[in-house]
Amino acid sequence: MLRLITADRVLPGPEGECVEDGAVLVDGTRVVAVGPCREVLALAPEGTGRQHFDGATVLPGLVNAHVHLAFDETSADAAALVETVRTASDESLRHAMGRRALAALRSGVTTLRDCGDRGGLAARVRDDITAGAARGPRIVATGPPLTVPGGHCWFLGAAAGSDRGIRDQVRRNAELGVDMIKVMASGGQITPHSPPSWTSQFDRDQLRVLVAEAERLGLPVAAHAHGTEAIRDAVAAGARTIEHCSWMTGQRSVRRDPATAAEMAARGVRACAASSRNWRTIIEKLPPEVAEQVYGRLPWMAERGVDLITGTDAGLPGSPFDDLAGALELYAHLGFAPGRILEMATVSSAAALGLGEVTGRLAAGRDADVLVVHGDPRADLGALADVCLVLARGAVVD
C-alpha cells in the first residue's frame, strides 16, 4: 500500500539536512522516496493516500539504545524491582515487556535495544512483533547480561566465573536467539552486595575470551562500564558499544582517559550514556563540580570524536519507556545543537546497533520508520513529545 506523508519540513536524519515543504512516500514497509513535495508527488501514482501535517516535521523514528523491558519502572526502589523480576512468571513478564515496548513505540521510538533481560524474553517479544502477533518497535535483544557470580544483575541468570563459564554463557545466549551480547564489565548500582560501579568485574583477558566467542557466533558486544579500567579493557577487548562510560575510579573520583577516548573515536566504538529524564533532578542535587564530573563526560567525549548514542536505561525506577525526548534534553542542556542530538537519536544509534542500512534515516530503501511531530524539534526538542503520527515498518501506530 502506498502512503504519502507531507509536512512543513522533512529531516532525513543527518545534522544539517532539511527538506522544506517535504514529503515521504512509503510503499508497504519501505520508504520509496524522500524530497521536496512537488517532486515526490510526481512519483506517487494516482490514488495514493496522502496525509498532510500542517506546522509539523517528519523525521526518522527514534532509537532508544538502552532499555530493560523486564524491569518495572514504577517499582518503589531497586530492591522491589529486583524482587519482581526474579519472581514473575515468564508469561506475565513477557506480557509486561510487550506492553512497555508498545509504550515506547507510541512515543516515537521505532527501534529499541534491550540491554539485559531474564531468560531471553526480549527476543521472544521481538519475535512476536516480527511475526505480526504483537505490535511494537524493532527490538535488538542482548538476553541476560553476563556478570560474575554475585555481581551486578546476577539475578538475571547469566553469571560466569571462568573462561569456560563465559564461553558457555555466550553460547547459551546465542541459543536464546539474541542479537548482541551484553557484559557487565564493571559493577553497577541496583544489586545489593555486588561490586561497586567503578570496580572491574572481568579483566581484559576474560573480556577478550567473551568477545572472541561472541564474534565466532556473529554477535557484537555491548559492555556496561562505569569504571575507567573497565572501559579501557572493554575497548581493548573489542566491545562495540560502551554503556554508561562514566570514567569512575572511586566513589567520588573520576579520571577520563584521553588515550582510550581516542581509541574509541578511531575504531568507532560508540558510547551510550544510558541517562534517563531524571537528569534535571540529579543535577540539582549534586554540587556543580560533581555534576560536571558526571555529565561533562559527554561533551568531553564528543569533542574527542567519540560517537554518542541515545539510551535511557528505561525500566529503572523513575525511567519510563515513553520519554526518550525528556532524556535527550540533557544534551541540549550540555550545549549540543538540536540537529546533532536528533542525528544521535537516529542515524548514530541505528548504526551502533548494526542497523545503519535498515533504519535511522529517511531514504529510499530504508524501512518506513517514520515520526511526525508538531513544530520543529530543531527549534525546540520538546516538540518530539508532541507526536502526530508514528509508522513502524510502514504500519500506523495508534
Please give the single-letter amino acid code of residue 339.
Answer: G
Helix pair angle (228-237, 204-216), 10° resolution: 40
Minimum Å gap between C-beta 6 and Zn ion is: 39
Strand partners, 146: 183
Kindly state the number of chain residues that form the binding site for Zn ion, as judged by CB under 5 A. Answer: 2
Q: From CA 41, how far away is CA 24, in angstroms rounded? A: 9
Cβ nearer to Zn ion, comparing 109 with 383: 109
Cell matching residue 362: 529517511
The CA-CA-CA angle for residues 138, 141, 147, to 5°, reads: 160
Cβ nearer to Zn ion, comparing 115 with 330: 115
Cell matching residue 291: 555534576
Cβ nearer to Zn ion, comparing 34 with 153: 153
Q: From CA 55, how far away is CA 167, in angstroms rounded? A: 54
Minimum Å gap between C-beta 223 and Zn ion is: 12
Minimum Å gap between C-beta 57 and Zn ion is: 30
Pairing of β 181-184 and β 221-227: parallel
Name the 3-class secondary structure at 378.
coil
Cβ nearer to Zn ion, comparing 115 with 368: 115
Name the 3-class secondary structure at 56.
strand
Site residues for Zn ion, window 112-141 (CB under 5 A)? 115
Cβ nearer to Zn ion, comparing 197 with 346: 197
Whether the CB-CB separation of 124 and 94 falls below 8 Å is answered with yes
For residue 233, state whether it binds Zn ion (rule: CB under 5 A). no
Cβ nearer to Zn ion, comparing 225 with 384: 225
Cβ nearer to Zn ion, comparing 4 with 115: 115
The residue range among 161-169, 257-265, 307-315, 354-362 that interacts with Zn ion, by the rule CB under 5 A, is 307-315
Gyration radius from the chain CA atoms: 21
Q: From CA 234, how far away is CA 306, in angstroms rounded? A: 15
Q: Which residue is nearest to Zn ion (CB)?
A: 313
Longest dimension (CA), the chain: 66
Cβ nearer to Zn ion, comparing 313 with 343: 313
What HEC string does 293-349 produce? HHHCHHHHHHHCCCCEECCCCECECCCCCCCHHHHHHHHHHCCCCHHHHHHHHHHHH
Minimum Å gap between C-beta 217 and Zn ion is: 22
Minimum Å gap between C-beta 224 and Zn ion is: 6
Interface mask toward Zn ion for 43-82; x: CB under 5 A: ----------------------------------------
The residue range among 168-176, 290-298, 310-318, 370-378 that interacts with Zn ion, by the rule CB under 5 A, is 310-318
Minimum Å gap between C-beta 185 and Zn ion is: 12
Cβ nearer to Zn ion, comparing 6 with 197: 197
The CA-CA-CA angle for residues 137, 347, 391, to 5°, reads: 35
Minimum Å gap between C-beta 132 and Zn ion is: 29
Minimum Å gap between C-beta 361 and Zn ion is: 26
Half-sphere exposure of 279 (CA within 13 A, CB side): 26
Minimum Å gap between C-beta 73 and Zn ion is: 12
Site residues for Zn ion, window 87-106 (CB under 5 A)? none
Whether the CB-CB separation of 256 and 230 falls below 8 Å is answered with no
- For residue 366, the 8-state DSSP code is S
The only residue of 128, 313, 322, 369 in contact with Zn ion, by rule CB under 5 A: 313
Minimum Å gap between C-beta 145 and Zn ion is: 8
Q: From CA 329, how far away is CA 375, in angstroms rounded? A: 16
Cβ nearer to Zn ion, comparing 152 with 340: 152
Whether the CB-CB separation of 263 and 233 falls below 8 Å is answered with no
- Give the residues lining the site for Zn ion (CB under 5 A): 115, 313
